Amino acid sequence: MDRKTILILVACFGLMLLWPSMVDRIYPPPKKAPRPTNLVTQAELANTTLPTNPPGATNRPASVPVITAPASPAAAWVRPAEPEQLLTLDTDDARYTFTSYGGGLKTIELKEYHASVACGRSGTSTNAAPLVKLNDGAPVPALALFGGAALQDSVPFKLSRTDRGLRAEKTLTNGLRLVKDFVPGTNYLIAADIRVENDGTNTLALPPQELVIGTATPINRRDNGQLLGMQWYDGQRAQFISEPWFANRTLGCFPGTPRSEYRNPGESNVVWAAAHNQFFVMIAAAQTNAAQVVARRIDLPPPSAEEIAEDRRVVARPFGFQTAFLYPAASVAPGQSLEWKLDVFAGPKEYNTLAKLSGNQDLAMQFGWGIFGWFARALLLGMNALHRLGLAYGLCIIGITVVIKLLFWPLTQASTRSMKRMQALQPQMKEIQTKYKEDPKKMNQKLMEFMKEHKVSPLGGCLPMLLQIPVFIGFYQMLRSAIELRGAHFLWACDLSQPDTVAVLFGFPINPLPLIMGATQFWQARLTPASPGADPVQQKMMQYMPLLFIFILYNFSAGLALYWTVQNLLSILQNKLIRNLGDPLAAHAAPAKSVAQPPGGSPRKK
Asked whether residue 332 falls in the same domain as residue 456, the answer is: no
Radius of gyration of the chain (CA): 31
**Same domain for 88 and 214?**
yes
Q: What is the pLDDT of residues 450-476, one digit of tens each?
A: 777 766 666 555 655 666 677 778 877
- Name the more confident of 568 and 47: 568
Reported as a pLDDT band with limits 50, 70 and 90, residue 248 is confident
Instruction: Please determine, for residue 189, whether its predicted confidence score (pLDDT) is greater than 80.
Output: yes
Q: Higher model confidence: residue 45 or residue 480?
A: 480
Cβ-proximal residues to 33 (8 Å cutoff; 6+ apart), any chain: none
Cα of 218 vs its chain's centroid, Å: 12
pLDDT, position 537: 57
545-553 and 512-527 helices, crossing angle to 10°: 160
Range of the domain at 137: 79-360
Q: Is the model's pLDDT at 39 over the cut of 50? A: no
Same domain membership, residue 234 and residue 93: yes
Q: How far apart are CA 202 and CA 204, in angstroms?
A: 6
Task: Please state, in angstroms and as integers, the Cα–Cα distance from residue 515 to each residue in 63, 509, 563, 567, following that order.
Answer: 57, 12, 13, 14
> In this predicted structure, which of 274-283, 342-351, 510-519 has the lowest mean pLDDT?
510-519
Give CA separation, 526 vs 231, 411, 522, 529, 546, in Å: 44, 20, 6, 8, 11
Tell me, yes or no, whether 427 lies in a domain: yes
Is the pLDDT reported for residue 592 higher than 60? no
Q: Tell me whether residue 386 is in a domain.
A: no
How do residues 343-398 score in pLDDT, each as one tens digit? 999 999 988 888 888 888 888 888 877 778 788 888 888 888 888 888 888 898 89
CA nearest to 313, candidates 109, 118, 551: 118
Answer whether residue 126 shows pLDDT above 80.
Answer: no
86 against 407, higher pLDDT: 86
pLDDT score for 160 = 93
| pLDDT at residue 29, as a whole number | 46
Yes or no: say if 317 and 224 are a contact pair by the CB < 8 Å rule: no
Strand segments (E) across 135-175:
145-146, 158-161, 166-171
**Over pLDDT 70: what percentage of the chain?**
71
Taking the CB of residue 585, how many other CB atoms lie within 10 A of it? 15
Residue 331, strand partner residues? 205
Q: List the CATH number of the domain containing 348.
A: 2.70.98.90
pLDDT at 184: 93
Of 360, 375, 403, the last residue of a domain is: 360
333 vs 323: CA distance, rounded Å: 29
Domain annotation covers residue 376: no
The pLDDT of residue 275 is 93
Q: Give residue 38's pLDDT.
A: 33
The span from the CA of 133 to the CA of 109, in Å, is: 4
Structural domain total, the chain: 2
Whether 203 and 340 map to the same domain: the answer is: yes
CB atoms within 10 A of CB 187: 15
Q: How sure is the predictor about 129, in pLDDT bands with cuts at 50, 70 and 90?
A: confident
**If you average pLDDT over residues 410-425, what whole number do you get?**
71
Asked which of 284-288, 341-345, 583-587 is least confident by mean pLDDT, the reply is: 583-587
pLDDT score for 52: 33
Is the predicted pLDDT of residue 31 greater than 80, yes or no? no
Strands 189-198 and 337-348: antiparallel
Structure confidence at residue 256 as a pLDDT band (50, 70, 90) = confident
405 shares its domain with 333:
no
Q: What is the pLDDT of residue 494?
A: 82
Task: Calculate the CA dihedral of residues 284, 286, 292, 295 and round it to 10 degrees.
Answer: -10
Same domain, 352 and 412: no
Q: Which of helix, strand or coil describes residue 145?
A: strand
313 and 417 in one domain?
no
pLDDT at 508: 76
- With a cut of 80, say whether residue 411 has pLDDT above it: no
Which stretches of 27-109 are DSSP H helices? 42-46
Question: pLDDT grade, residue 203 (50/70/90)?
Answer: confident
Question: For 61-70, 86-95, 448-457, 530-539, which range has the lowest pLDDT when averaged over its residues?
Answer: 61-70
The answer to whether the beta carbons of residues 93 and 110 sit under 8 Å apart is yes
pLDDT tens by residue, 291-321: 789 999 988 988 888 888 887 778 888 999 9
Q: Is residue 382 part of a domain?
A: no
Helix (H) or strand (E) holding 599: none
Q: pLDDT class for 141, splitting at 50, 70, 90?
A: very high
The average pLDDT across 247-269 equals 76
The answer to whether residues 114 and 263 belong to one domain is: yes
Which has more confidence, 485 or 170? 170
Shared-domain flag, residues 345 and 412: no
How far apart CA 91 and CA 112 sit, in angstroms, is: 12
pLDDT at 56 over 60: no
Phi and psi, residue 337, nearest 5°: -155, 155
28 within a domain of the structure (yes/no): no
Q: Would you say residue 20 lies in a domain?
A: no
Q: What is the pLDDT of residue 243?
A: 84
Do residue 319 and residue 436 come from a single domain? Answer: no
Helical H segments across 436-501, by residue range: 440-453, 463-481
Q: Confidence class of residue 27 from pLDDT cuts 50, 70 and 90? A: very low
pLDDT band at 267 (very low <50, low <70, confident <90, very high): low
Residue 138: HSE in the Cβ half-sphere, 13 Å Cα cutoff = 33
pLDDT of residue 194: 92
Contact assessment for residue 481 and residue 279, using Cβ atoms and an 8 Å cutoff: yes
Among 89-93, 189-193, 457-461, the minimum mean pLDDT is found in 457-461
Alpha-carbon span 511 to 515, nearest angstrom? 7
The answer to whether residues 146 and 264 belong to one domain is yes
